[in-house]
Each structure stands twice: as structure tokens, then as C-alpha cells.
Amino acid sequence: MKADVLPLSLPGVMLIRSTRISDSRGSFAETYVRGDFAKSGIPNDFVQDNQSVSFSAGTVRGLHFQIPPFQQAKLIRVLRGRIFDVVVDLRHSSATYGAHVSVELSAGGGEQLFVPAGFAHGFCTLVPSTEVFYKVDAVYSSAHDRGVNWLDPTLDIRWPIAPTEAILSDKDRVLPLMNELSAIFE
């Protein structure tokens, strides 16, 4: 693989930095080669691509996940702008249950974040007109769509935006706290 794959503090969560080739025209990078990803410990078969555009800095999306049998692993990258990206471990049997990791992803840096199933994911845009692209290994199912409140105090996430200034969907404003979730992922 023409990339560095760096394990983060939560088991299975990985930061991927693809090699960029630059010249006077711009740059080129291979962002996904299935066989190379499998050799690096990411054997997932991605079946759906998603893309979001957030017009304003301070837009928060998440913390989202899907329950079985539609649980999703995600491969996230930023096409334009920058985000503060957060992953929370929801696996009850895990030593890191309830822990989170955060990273900054940017179009300029070209990083990707791999999030296995069993984790909640969300992000906050750091600049206007931010565009995020992500692959998932299970199709979207509204009946299996769930989330955790981004401001849950037990998570102790240091978001880069004041709660009163964040832009959220009505759905994301009322997501439950961690202690209100049943044991979904063992």
C-alpha cells in the first residue's frame, strides 16, 4: 500500500496517510485499493459511499452508528475543508468501552480514518464549506440508525465549538446519553 496505516488508541481504529505524488499540475494519490487495505488489516467490503457538505464551520454531525444486523464500518476522508473527527467505543466487552479518540482530518492533509463496526462516529467542521466522503460496509437502514449525544459529559470530548454555537440537526440534539443505551455491541 502506498500509505502509512497508524493504529490509534482504540482497537481497530486506524489513521491512514496515503502517499501523494505532486508536480506542477497538482497531486495524485491512491486513496483506496482493496487488496492493499486488506493486507493492512482492513478487509471490509465497502458497499455504499456517502458524502456530506456542511456550509458553516461549527456544524456537528453525530455521534452516529447502526445496530446489528446493519452495523457499519466506515472509511472517512475530507474532500474540502477540515474536521475534528471523533470515535467512541460502544463495545461493552471492550477494555476501552466508553473511551473516545479524536483526530483532525483535512483535505490538504489527505488523511483517512477507519472506524470499525461497534463504534459511534461524529465530527465538527472547522471551516466553512467542508465536504466529507465516507465508505461504509453495510447499507443505510433508518430502522437501525442510532446515536449518542455529542455532549454526553461521561465521554469528556473536548469539542472545538461551544455548545451554544454548534449547528446540529434536530435529531442530533436529542440523541441519548451513553448510560441510556442498551448493550448493543458485545
Could you give the residue numbers annotated as active site?
64, 134
For the chain, what's the residue count?
186
Please state, in angstroms and rounded to a whole number, the distance separating the CA atoms of residues 86 and 121. Answer: 6
Contact status, residue 87 vs residue 113, Cβ threshold 8 Å:
yes
Residue type, 52: S
Contact status, residue 2 vs residue 19, Cβ threshold 8 Å:
yes
Q: What cell numbers appear for 130 in the block?
A: 467542508
Please state, in angstroms and rounded to a whole number, the distance separating the CA atoms of residues 174 and 39. Answer: 40
Integer CA distances (angstroms), 98 to 73, 112, 180, in order: 18, 22, 13
